[in-house]
Structure formats: structure tokens, C-alpha cells
Structure 1
Amino acid sequence: MRSVVLAGGGTAGHVSPLLALADTLVDRHPGLDVVILGTESGLEADLVPARGYELTTVPKVPMPRRPTGDLLRLPGRLKAAVDAAGAAMREPGAEVVVGFGGYVSTPAYLAARRLAVPLVVHEQNARPGLANRLGARLTRYVGVTFASTPLPHSTLTGMPLREQIRTLDRTTRRTEAARELGLDPGRPTLLVTGGSLGAQRLNDAFAGAASSLVAAGLQVVHVTGRGKEFEPEVPTGPGRYVVLPYAERMELCLAAADLVVARSGANTVCELSAVGAPSVLVPLPIGNGEQRLNAHDVVAAGGAILVEDAAVDSQWVVDVVVPLALDDERLAAMSVAAAAVGVRDGHERLADLVERAARRVT
């Protein structure tokens, strides 16, 4: 394989698996020409160049959900985006196009169909988005993260994860990770994260319970999201409360943590399961309900517990999270259960599917 086009962007949930696949394909095919399509305004504008790849931008084409003026302008905008995606495919002679959903994927799918380039679709969430529902109708090569995802022609690939996560051994890295974070490896540690953008509900609840967490002897690493950090008001106590706006090395946070409280975005759920991290998952209460569905398998296995967003406040942290974080026996059982449903080789499985598509093998 000499050339591949990868399309996806907008959120880390789209960009992270895209980059994990790009690295895997380059490892398998040295000298591979990788063209990555994205928008100027999504996270891909920063994350793709930071990984060493060039980003080719395509006009952003949101799909209007109501009959407004945007609907009248849609055909012209979509044609421009499809033309731009097609040009990006023709120049390197793309042998296969892989889409991960999001605004840029729809024009990529239509351009691939027009140019008769084999197409692979990867859906991260248990409930697929509009772009991937369209893409799955145009190809026989569809990779899904969760077995319950309702897309035709699907193959269960799991989520492509970055190397630092999929190779993480939490047990052997715990002491090193705790020390790098300025923590005591011998004390129970709680990780709180709302994803790359943070979660205000989690931020407010844990900020209000900070003194109780420290007094209980817990160490807390709280990733708030950039611009949402706060100064925790904690008394001198046996524990410690560390606030980070962003985790540059999330693998260290996961290695140090005995329990994680997080949103249930697909990438988060898959990372936690892959490394066997016990968790409390709080689905985002907006959108099409995909975060609740993303959490289903690991919750059913006993590796996580699911809590409604409306139930999360400072008193809940004290009454529920603190006792769980101090229950070594239950956390050990949850860790085993989470790892049992985790997938560490999603990058290899998806790369296999891409290679089959490039050879047009079913």
C-alpha cells in the first residue's frame, strides 16, 4: 500500500483513533503517503501537526437539522467540500479512504464514491452519527468499536488506541507515575476527568468536596479542561488535591489512579477498559444518548458503575465516591472485570480491515 487518505476531526474522539491508525499503517508500510483531511477549526488543527502529519483542510459542512437558510446553502457548500476532498485523493493516487465521522467525513465519503476509491468507515460510538450512517451505506468495510452498534456490514475492531495507553501496565508503572505527579505511591488515588474539554458538573462537585476528599486520606488528580482550573480549598490533611488543566501524559494519571471518575465518551471508555481501570462513568446528558450506550458493556461486566449527571454533586462525592475509592477489594474486582471487556489491539484490527479494503477483499 502506497497512499491512504484519513478523514475525521472536530473532537479528540475522532482524531485520536485516526492518529493511532495512521501510526500503525506507517509502521506496516514504511514510506506510506498519509493524507489527513480535517477542518481549520477542530482539534485536528493542533493534534495532527503535533504528531508529525500534514493536515489538508476541507470546508466544514454542518448538516442543518431544521429548514433554515443554511439548508438552502447546503448543496453549494457540500459540492465545494466534496471537490476539495476529491482533489486531496487524486493527487497522491489514494488506494483507500478511511473516515472516522464528523463534519469532514461526509464529503470524503462522497468523493471516494465518485472516484471509485475503496472506503472504510470507523464508528467510535455505540450509536452512530449522521456521517457514518451515510458512509456505511456506501461500503462493505465498516469497523465498529462496540458490538451493539447498528451499522450494516460491520466488523468489530474496537477502538484504535495510542501506543502509550495500549501498552500501559498500571501495576508496574504505578510508583513511577505517582512520583512524577508529585503523589505518594502508597496512598489511594482518584482521577477525575471530563475529557479534553472538561466537564463543569464534575468540576463543581469535586471542587466542593475537595476538603472532604483530602481529609479522608485520598489523593486526587483532577483534570479540569483548559480555562476551567481552580484553586482547591483544602485543609492540611493526609491526602492531596492536584488540579491540572490538561493531562499531557494521561497514561501517568491512569497508572497512578485506583479509581477514575469520568464522562463516558467512547475513547475514554475504551482506554479505561483496555488498561483495567475501575471507573465511575457519568454520561453527558445531551446529544443522542451515545455516552450511556458506550458505557453499557463495561458497566454490565462490573468494571464500572453508571451515575446520572443530575445525581452528581459534592454530597454524592462524599457519600459514594469516597467509600468506593477506599474499598481495595471492590476496586480489584472491578479492575479485572474492566480488563476482560477491554480491547488493546483495535489499531491492528482496523489496519487489517483497511488493507483488505485496499485489496478489495471481502
Structure 2
Amino acid sequence: MPKSILLAGGGTAGHVNPLLAVATAVRQKYPDAAITVLGTREGLEADLVPSRGFDMRFVPRVPMPRRPTPQWFALPSKLQSAVTAAREAITEIDADVVIGFGGYVSTPAYLAARKLDVPIVVQEQNARAGIANKLGARWAKAVTTTFESTALPSSQVTGLPLRAEISALISALENNPEQTRRAAAAELGLDPNRPILLVTGGSLGALRLNRTITQVAPELLEGGVQILHLTGKGKSEQVLEDLSSLDPIARADYHVLEYLVRMDLAYAVADLVVCRSGAGTVCELAALSLPAVFVPLPIGNGEQKLNAGPMVDAGGALIIDDSLFTENWVRSNVVPLVRDRATLGRMAIAARSVGKPYATARVLEVLEGVAGWSSND
């Protein structure tokens, strides 16, 4: 009997990347399985999912207000439309199982699956679960989490499913770390024999990181450090302006890009990463044994600080509040650290101690158990 699965999630890379990791794993193990992804037209999934060759079904975007607002009055009708669309998608492929990754689209998927008596699996990325996954966990046959501290009923810790390119990089680094670093450095125009600092605020960038690092650029460059700075889309102009007074020779070691599709190349060359602490970033760095300086996003429900906790507690990363990430702090902490190979080596070992490089396979095992699948069928 043909296998079929519906995956629901989207809006941000934090939801879409683990969804794609699981979808890819299902396709690799069960090439004949019907794989459908439920998403919204406004989210990243609208572009990323079809580009990976997966079937896409859309539902209306239905934000769930956290407190009473005028939006509450329109919620029932909007949600019903989304549930109807989700039910049609589940019925169309006769799904064996529905797995949700959170975000607006997961709520209607969970509601539709419950009405159709289709088993549900929840995958929660963050240390603090979102509204959709809290709801889905009430009816789920299995709940998988990234962090031990996540408070969801009957959950099991699997780690975060990693993108295929990150899994491939883990294998490459295990087999030949020096060759992998040199090949990536050649692609990016960097010297693999010198320290490399990766700075990234994610696809949207982070103004605090951008401004602070450029202000400390002279000290970093004088110490022989190369900087790979991913500014975020539309934010490179200000960074380049801030760097305009640098000595031209030193400036050649400061590499500015708005965005890098091949993040695996950046990770392959980095000795230290300065970044936000979304669940995906934290888990990828831990699995790759990459030391980090985490500057959690100062808005939201505080999940980014919680996400970073295990890696920081293990000694694999530093953490600093956004408001305290100043020039003086970077001069005192980041400038000496990126040149300290012994300390970075100890941090790398500590980071790996909390990493879960095989999370995708574990989540797939959970799915197989809930759906009753066997590769021998």
C-alpha cells in the first residue's frame, strides 16, 4: 500500500528547514511515498518547498492572537477556512500521518487531522513551545522536541532535524576536516590558515550585530582575523559605509555579503560565530562543534535565550544580551577569543557534547512508528 504523509509548518526558516529535512529523509528512504507540504503563500515555504521538488498545498494564514483584540471576531471564520483546506489536502493523499512543525499553518493541520482521525506527530524546535504545538500536543500520538527543557506532554528529545547540507558537512568534517575547510575557503576567497570570524544575524540581519562588529573591525583586522559578515538582505549598504574609512589593505580581509545560500561553506571555515540564537542556528552549531557568541533576539517570548542555554552551560558558547553587546564588550571578549585556538578547541568539544547530529533519523523513526511504516512493505 503506498505510503503518504502531510507535513505542516512554515513562516520562518526555523519551521521550514526542519520540515524540509524530514521530507527529504522520507523521500530518500521511501521514494514512492506521497509527500505533501501544507503552508501559506506568504511564508518562506512558498518558495523553498517547491524548489526542493515537494508538492505544496496552501491554507489561509491565520495568526492566533495571544490576547483579546478585534482580530478575535474574525478568527472563527478564517480558521474554519484554513481547517477545510487542510482537511482537503489530508484526504486527497489519504495521509497515514500528519507531522507539524509549528507556525500558523500547523493549527488547522492539527484540527483537520483530529477530525479525520489521522495520527499526529508534533516536532517542536524551541525550548519554549509555541501556541500551535501546545495545541497539537494534546492529541498527538508522539511529540518530539529539540531541547530537554521543553514542556510538552509525553514528549521525547530527538534534537532538531538538520538540513541535508548541514548533515553532509558534518560527515565531511569527520572524514577530512582540513580538506573541507580549504575547499570552502577557496570558494569564499578566504585564507584557511588564518582565523575566521563569521557574523550573521540571519536572513533579515541584526542591526546591533552589524553596527557593533563594524565599529570594532580595526582591532579584529589588526590581529590578523578575517571577517565573513552576512548583513541580512538590504542591510549591506550601511555596513559598507561604516567600513569606508578602513585601510584598503586591511579592508580586503573584511568580506561583506547580504546573504549566503551555501551556509555550509560559511560554517566550514568559521572558527567562531557571532549570531542570534534561533533553535536552528544553535542546533546546527552544536552539531558542527562550532563555538559561538550568542546575542539573543531581544523581542518575543524569550525562547532564544532558552535555546542557547544548553550550549552555553556546557561551555561551548558565550551569551550576551542585545543591549550589552557593545564595542567595549566585543573588544574585551570576542577580539581575544577568535585568536585563542586553545580556548576555541575546548569550546568546540563542549559544543559537540550537546549536539544531536542524527536528529533527522530519530524523528523519522518516530514517524515510522506512528504511521506503521516499514521499508519492507
Query: Which residue type is aligned with residue 52 of structure 2?
Result: R
CA contact (8 A) 1:218 1:238 kept: no
Alignment of 1:1-362 (within 5 A): 2-168=3-169, 169-170=172-173, 171-172=177-178, 173-229=180-236, 230-231=239-240, 232-233=243-244, 234-235=246-247, 236-237=249-250, 240-359=253-372
CA contact (8 A) 1:140 1:153 kept: no
Once the two structures are overlaid, the 10-residue window that deviates more, 183-192 or 228-237, is 228-237
**Partner Cα separation in structure 2 for residue 206 and residue 12 of structure 1:** 24
**Partner Cα separation in structure 2 for residue 196 and residue 151 of structure 1:** 29
Query: Which residue type is aligned with residue 131 of structure 2?
Result: L
CA contact (8 A) 1:99 1:120 kept: yes
Runs of 4+ in 1 over 4 A off after TM superposition: none
Query: Which residue type is aligned with residue 309 of structure 2?
Result: H
CA contact (8 A) 1:216 1:239 kept: no
Q: CA deviation at 1:212?
A: 2.5
Deviations 1:175-228 (Å, cap 9, x if unpaired)?
Answer: 111111101111100001112221111011112222322222110001111111
**Partner Cα separation in structure 1 for residue 86 and residue 314 of structure 2:** 42
CA contact (8 A) 2:8 2:99 kept: yes
Query: Which residue type is aligned with residue 198 of structure 1?
Result: G
Query: Which residue type is aligned with residue 325 of structure 1?
Result: V
Identity %: 53
**Partner Cα separation in structure 2 for residue 139 and residue 53 of structure 1:** 24
3-state SS of 1:237 partner: helix
Once the two structures are overlaid, the 10-residue window that deviates more, 111-120 or 215-224, is 215-224
**Partner Cα separation in structure 2 for residue 192 and residue 214 of structure 1:** 14
Deviations 1:295-328 (Å, cap 9, x if unpaired)?
Answer: 1111111111111111112332222211000111
CA contact (8 A) 1:215 1:239 kept: no
**Partner Cα separation in structure 1 for residue 47 and residue 330 of structure 2:** 34
**Partner Cα separation in structure 2 for residue 65 and residue 7 of structure 1:** 21
3-state SS of 2:57 partner: strand
Query: Which residue type is aligned with residue 51 of structure 1?
Result: R
- Across the aligned residues of Structure 1 and Structure 2, the Cα RMSD in angstroms comes to 1.5
Unaligned runs of 5+ residues in structure 1 are none
**Partner Cα separation in structure 2 for residue 33 and residue 133 of structure 1:** 27
Q: 1:227 to 1:238 in 2, by over 3 A?
A: closer
Unaligned runs of 5+ residues in structure 2 are none
CA contact (8 A) 1:143 1:154 kept: yes
Query: Which residue type is aligned with residue 53 of structure 2?
Result: G
**Partner Cα separation in structure 1 for residue 330 and residue 146 of structure 2:** 31
**Partner Cα separation in structure 2 for residue 65 and residue 58 of structure 1:** 21
**Partner Cα separation in structure 1 for residue 350 and residue 214 of structure 2:** 30
CA contact (8 A) 2:119 2:141 kept: no
Deviations 1:10-67 (Å, cap 9, x if unpaired)?
Answer: 0000000000000001111111111100101111111111211132110011112232
**Partner Cα separation in structure 2 for residue 254 and residue 208 of structure 1:** 23
Q: CA deviation at 1:360?
A: 9.3
Query: Which residue type is aligned with residue 224 of structure 1?
Result: T
**Partner Cα separation in structure 2 for residue 238 and residue 73 of structure 1:** 54
Query: Which residue type is aligned with residue 134 of structure 2?
Result: R
**Partner Cα separation in structure 2 for residue 98 and residue 347 of structure 1:** 13
**Partner Cα separation in structure 2 for residue 48 and residue 198 of structure 1:** 23
Once the two structures are overlaid, the 10-residue window that deviates more, 316-325 or 327-336, is 316-325
Q: CA deviation at 1:139?
A: 1.3
**Partner Cα separation in structure 2 for residue 140 and residue 89 of structure 1:** 17
CA contact (8 A) 1:279 1:304 kept: yes
Query: Which residue type is aligned with residue 361 of structure 2?
Result: E
